[in-house]
A and B are shown apart, each in its own frame.
Chain A
């Protein structure tokens, strides 16, 4: 067996996915008005602010993976000019996404902490930037959230598409949604997993630590999270079944995941902490209206860790097609 890539691309995919998910959740709170229901919305604050740093960190990790790019950094700029390449589309989408997410994060901090805005305004070297002080923060923030939302979907889909594009060599990565539906599974799975990780980070972890059980603020949250886990489980199941039906090295990859070398990673480090445990916690939250803070934070940590393992598993289990 020859597996494909190692940890660095998996870490990039994880950081990129979490960044995308966090921004999507923040944008959803922004557009649904939940952001302004209370004075302090930790979900929006964390979602908007961590998105930029996470994707930047991911991009840096990716540069370390580029052997030639690291030795001859000017080559990285060539990646902006090959418009027929999925990679170039990704480089442009990520570039815009980094910019937008940083600005969005900055505006969210300024909106949440008006004192910081006043402090900045008092800086002598910033006084001349009068246009800045006249900006309607919330409307501008909403604009950036909207653009960021579109770009976030683009980043998640591009990450999956990039993996799928390697498909002919590694059939598992280009497995279709269903054997008779010619749509690659990876972009869909990566987007749903990114959303799940974003909710885990911003709601289960950050918001629970900051203000307690979030379902008291947004009643539908546990149901949304359960639905997301359901969709993710369904997609994972379909991925494995389609790969098994396809046969060849795709089926070999699926078997490695289910009962082979990666079985412990799959069942113990993805299914349990990322799907099963959080589902039980959300079911308790939705049905009984209660759960312990530890279990909610634990489910957040579990989902985030599992999303990293999921990306690693997909990369590591990719087996080259027999020529």
Chain B
């Protein structure tokens, strides 16, 4: 306890001193504590970009307003190309500001000055523009079961390929990561044809079924836009006609490898009557449960 002759108000200053002491102590102890732990390897970060969001307001004002764009552009197709939906100004890329990626001159209303040094496709310089943020790009995206040639692009092995070839107008409404706006597969197919690359499904897709090794994907999957569009004409073992024709594969089979079936009616159907046995086909036909065969 404090000496009896010390005034009572001394505790106020002791408390204040403790607050200040805590700060000084923390400033000394924290570097020492951190030195005991391994430090992370510094990686390229946002700071490697010249962050210029505040200088981009003039760009945004013009490019989000059709009226403003019409003052200099008359061609409708060109207008449509240059116009940016204001919603995307608040997207993750949009918040970086136009000048950060597209360069040019920010903070000016002068059209010529603003577009001086403009980089139309920043992804042509992806090392400095995209990679600082998008590190460790995967070659296999398991969530969507896709293969992407990220390593080849990043290491310069696919020299005529850059980010925008697949990711298109990313930051302007195209968002392949969240899947809200997805890339049409026909864009991939077109590109593969132009470059004379394989169009085999396995080049890009990681098939989930173990039968993929023996049956080509397009035996069942008939659409390159909708994975779930299926044709079951070549259904092995049981011909799918009548009531069986429109049902989905995994209404009967187990996903992903089609197991779990004994190929008898009782796999799916329950016998509603006592007479007869499990061989329903003695009486019923696939065209309709209530239709009887011969």
Contact = CB atoms under 8 A, between A and B. Distances in A.
Interface of A: 1-2, 7, 11, 14-15, 18, 22, 40, 42, 45-46, 49-50, 53-54, 57, 109, 112-113, 201-202, 205-212, 256, 260-265, 268-269, 293, 300-301, 304-305, 308-309, 312, 320-323
A261 B30 contact: no
B133 interface: yes
Given A2-B43, A210-B8, A305-B25, 17 more contacts: A2-B47, A11-B23, A14-B23, A42-B11, A45-B8, A45-B11, A57-B19, A202-B15, A256-B40, A261-B38, A261-B39, A265-B33, A269-B26, A304-B22, A308-B26, A322-B134, A323-B134
Contacts of B47: 2
Contacts of B27: 7
Given A46-B15, A269-B33, A312 B26 contact: yes
B8 to A, nearest CB: 6
A112 B12 CA distance: 12
B40 A46 contact: no
22 contacts: A2-B43, A14-B19, A22-B15, A42-B8, A49-B12, A50-B15, A112-B8, A205-B14, A206-B15, A209-B11, A260-B40, A261-B39, A262-B34, A269-B26, A269-B29, A269-B30, A269-B33, A293-B1, A304-B18, A304-B22, A305-B26, A323-B133
A202 to B, nearest CB: 7
B266 to A, nearest CB: 41
B46 interface: yes
B15 A205 contact: yes
The list of the 6 closest CB pairs from A to B, nearest first, reads: A2-B45, A264-B33, A206-B11, A1-B40, A323-B133, A305-B22
Interface in B2-53: 2, 8-9, 11-12, 14-16, 18-19, 22-23, 25-27, 29-30, 33-34, 36-40, 42-43, 45-47
Contacts, number: 113
A244 B144 CA distance: 23
Contacts of B11: 42, 45-46, 206-207, 209-210
Interface of B: 1-2, 8-9, 11-12, 14-16, 18-19, 22-23, 25-27, 29-30, 33-34, 36-40, 42-43, 45-47, 92-93, 96, 133-135
A209 B13 CA distance: 12
A235 to B, nearest CB: 21
Given A40-B8, A210-B11, A305-B22, A54 B16 contact: yes
B12 A312 contact: no
* Chain A interface SS verdict (over half): helix
Nearest to A263: B37
A1 to B, nearest CB: 5
A57 B15 CA distance: 14
B19 A304 contact: yes
A293 B93 CA distance: 57
Contacts of B9: 45, 109, 113
B43 A1 contact: yes
A11 B22 CA distance: 10
A264 B37 contact: yes
Contacts of B26: 7, 269, 305, 308-309, 312
Contacts of B12: 45-46, 49-50, 206
B15 A264 contact: no
Contacts of B33: 264-265, 268-269
B19 A54 contact: yes
Contact of A264 (B18, B36, B45): B36
Contacts of A305: 22, 25-26
B14 A260 contact: no
Nearest to B32: A264
A209 B18 contact: no
B92 A323 contact: yes
Contacts of B38: 261
Contacts of B93: 323
A297 to B, nearest CB: 10
